[in-house]
Structure 1
Amino acid sequence: MIRGARAPPLRVARLFLPSRRLCGVDSRTGVEVPGTGQQDDGRILEREGEASLDPATVTPEVLLRMPPPPPLPGQPESGDYDAENLSSGSGSRRRPREELRLTDRILKVLLQDGPGFSARKALDEMNLKVTNELVRQVMFKFVVSVDSVNRERYPRLAYKFFVWAGQQERYRHNTSMYNLVMKVFAECGEVKAMWRLLEEMTEIGLPVSARTFHILICTCGQAGLRRRLVERFMKSSSFNYRPFRSSFNAILHTLLTIKQYSLIEWVHQKMVTEGHTPDVLTYNVVMRAKYLLGKLDQFHRLLDEMGKNGLTPDLHTYNLLLHVLGKGDKPLAALNLLNYMSDVGCVPSVLHFTNLIDGLSRAGNLEACRYFFDEMVKKGCEPDAVCYTVMITGYVAAAEFEEAQKLFDDMLVRGKLPNVYTYNSMIRGLCIVGEFDKAYSMLKDMDLHGCTPNFSVYSTLVCRLRNAGKDSEANHVIKYMTKKGQYLHLLSRFGGYRRC
């Protein structure tokens, strides 16, 4: 049992040491890879083979308490953000069939544009009522339909519809609509056209959002171009994103989401040089970047500087510190920090315990993982599916599958629905102990419980079966995947497999 003791605030973070790395499974491919350790430059690499939780895999919004973007002036409460979210699986509300049919009709009209047919005239004759939602749906169709054949034509057609829509009565494009067209251009590699849209937005006085910046910087392949883009946005008077203290924080947030950690350092330095005062959000982002770059001394200096500037750590600062302490195998220091958090009224949540447990499991200290898991339950903090998954993954990685199975059973008894990562860990564990039939059965059970397997689940099972010399069984898994019509575009990753 770990005995608790009070420690000075924040200073406990200095107690951690670099931890050894474990083997794991790539959360994207399911292929096992060895631990990576450190590069010669001391930069800590993120493991390719980890399906568990980490500040690198927890979304910045969760880790750093970044609020969702509010609507721009003239937008309904959820319109702006939803309009720019072009992920078909993002939980968007279902559209009426009539609206979907209308979108298809518009796209068919646009695709006929050419000599002898005027798409503009045909659109006029449709007597459409142009709304933000209609423009969003049409642009979404373009984005998801881009391929090597139409990538040269689609930007022109999308922009033609965009211009036509902007000329209709009682409708004007806002920042969100410009961002949508930029997204189409980005998918088609039309970088110059994106910059022209940015110039147009500036000329007509539309505010430039963090989403605009995000789309642009994701298309900048060269470091020098990224830096010039960042400089432009820092100097722009129209770049003002309301959830953040300043434009600098909006830039830092975006750079964090695309893992541009070195550029985060540069922006932070420019921010300080120009006399802008960092807030807690700024420190959270920059400290996370320093940690992921392996610059631990600078990480601690920022932590000290934060306290000297009179800034109080928030829940997400503590969340990052707990993971650092866990990964450094410092359970006593972590316990001190948890006690301190409770003393100052910052009650640890399941997310804090989960990140701590994840760090400890990566350090190989499963005894401490179990202790903090039990302590969390004792304190009335109910573990969720993610927390169970972290524990299960740790036991599987340590080849203690019986303990993993007990946690999985307990999870079901408590009414916690396993997610795709939970199943992936359990299937991997069953394969490790040679229970391939049960692993295949669990794959089928996923659908019965409303959990669609991702490609990592299939890949884990196929790779394990092949490594065990069970090529026939591996092909059965691939056939099961193709029969369900899933991930057909990734079949080439299963080398040697031929479809009948």
Structure 2
Amino acid sequence: MWKANLFIRYSRQAVPLIRNQVNSKTQTLISSPFTYLSSFLSQNPRFFSIDSNQNFQNAPNIFQEESDYPSVNLFDENPSFISQESETPLANFDGNHGFSSQESETPFASFDGNNGFISQLGVEDENPSFVSQEKVREIDLEKVESVLSILQSNVDGSMENSLDGMRLYLSEEFMVRVIETPLVPGDSLVKIFKWALKKPDFSTTTRILDCLVKAVGSGNRKREVYALWDLVKEFNDEKKCLLTTEILNEFISLFWKLGKGKAGLEVFDKFEEFACEWNADSYYLTIEALCRRKIFDWAWPVCEKMLNAGALPDSEKISNIISCFCKGNKAKDAHLVYLMAKEKKIHLSKSCLNFLITSLCREDDTVKLALDLLGDFSGKDRNYAIKPFSCVVRGLCRIKDTEEVKKLLSMMIFEGPPPGNAVFNFVINAFSKAGEMDVVMGFVKIMESRGLRPDVYTYTVIISGFVKGGEMEEARKVLSEAQKKHSKLCPATFHTLIQGYCKLGEFDKAVELLNVMKESGVEPNFDEYDKMIQSLCLKAVDWRTAEKLLEEMKEKGLPIKGSTKGLVRAVKELEEKELGEEVVSMEA
């Protein structure tokens, strides 16, 4: 006896979800044949029956042979039988449970007789629009909002209890959604992460840690960053392996921004413990963090590790490192960084090279290093590098390496950059102190031949050189030449000559030059008068001329020291006493 059994089971609740999951092309292919099937069922209202003892797989299939009726849509308001065999198999019909998924090139979904459609197989990878019910269950938006409300309310002491009562499923997606929400306080994020770590069903991931560090760091608050770092340091071996170089670099960067160089160095030292490898940014961020706090002695060992590893950052960051060490009076160390960058063919800016050369010229033992670096300038860059070249010339003059000075000056004249008055003044001053006045006058001629006019400082230096050698006549000639070229000289130009005359005991010429000085429009200052008066009293015993100079000082409103007045009075009294004794002796 045939028993009529209708094996049609479906779930109205699942239909909307699956309709949303099936793409439009697939719906077009499988929905159009439904019209034919619906028409067939209406014309042949019969039910197919099978023996209850037989397996459903042995039951006759009305679509087993080719027919005029194509396959039907999977789901509709009135679901019907579908073909088991087609070019694109869609689903099997299970005698006990209704439709079930069948392996095919384009699998779609399984149908549960009681619960409706429960999952799709293989579709999620091929079509991103498919979303599994499992993932939907993981990200419960209502619970996310509830958690955010708790975190943003800053409830003291009750946050953990509130979270415990929510029975949260702490998946990676859930935690990331909470952490990446804007305007959540950093301390609240640290608290919920610390609370989650205590839950046995929570497994933190690298992605969660990365999001957490960035979110906490965005607030730029010292207390929150330190709290998170202290929590990370307590990780066991299983969790330590989740940390990456990028995450640790982010910690160093945060401490750098906060001005906590020592904390940045602590993170740097933890790389090996966390089984991470330093990269170029690790070295750079740590060096910058320490240099910002002017802890240059701690920054250099990190820089040495960078040089030994050959892990140099880009040219801009290398330039910053060189500048930091130069500012910290470690130009010699900065020079080593420059040489490594040059070996690695990292092109550094000319401003960086200028700063390095200038810094090297500050110390006597590194001037020669600066001299070697001048060769790195070429073409137009060389013509505009007058400042570093001038610094090297000045440094060589300071260490009295006159031979190198001659070579460098000659090279600048013929190859550039063209030397200016400042460079010639350095050179003339150095050779004047060395007493090589013939060479000095040769430089003056070179200046004039190049269209340069010696300035007042140049003449003053030359006069000083002649005076030092006792060549007062030559010095006086230079003074006359200076008066022709410059309408007004400085007091130091005359002072050098006056002092020279005083040392030679030629006080008449010294006083004469003092009057010439006033006639040239250069007024003697307090120091000039005071020294002249002392020389007249102590060496020439000429209190009369000294007294006249005191009167001039009074008229000009210049201050007069009591000791100077006393010196003039004492010399005068001494002379009067001597004269009195002579008169008495003559009368006797």
- TM-score, length basis structure 1: 0.41
Compare relative contact order (CA 8 Å, sep 6+) and give the higher one, 1 or 2. Answer: 1
Q: Which has the larger radius of gyration?
A: 2
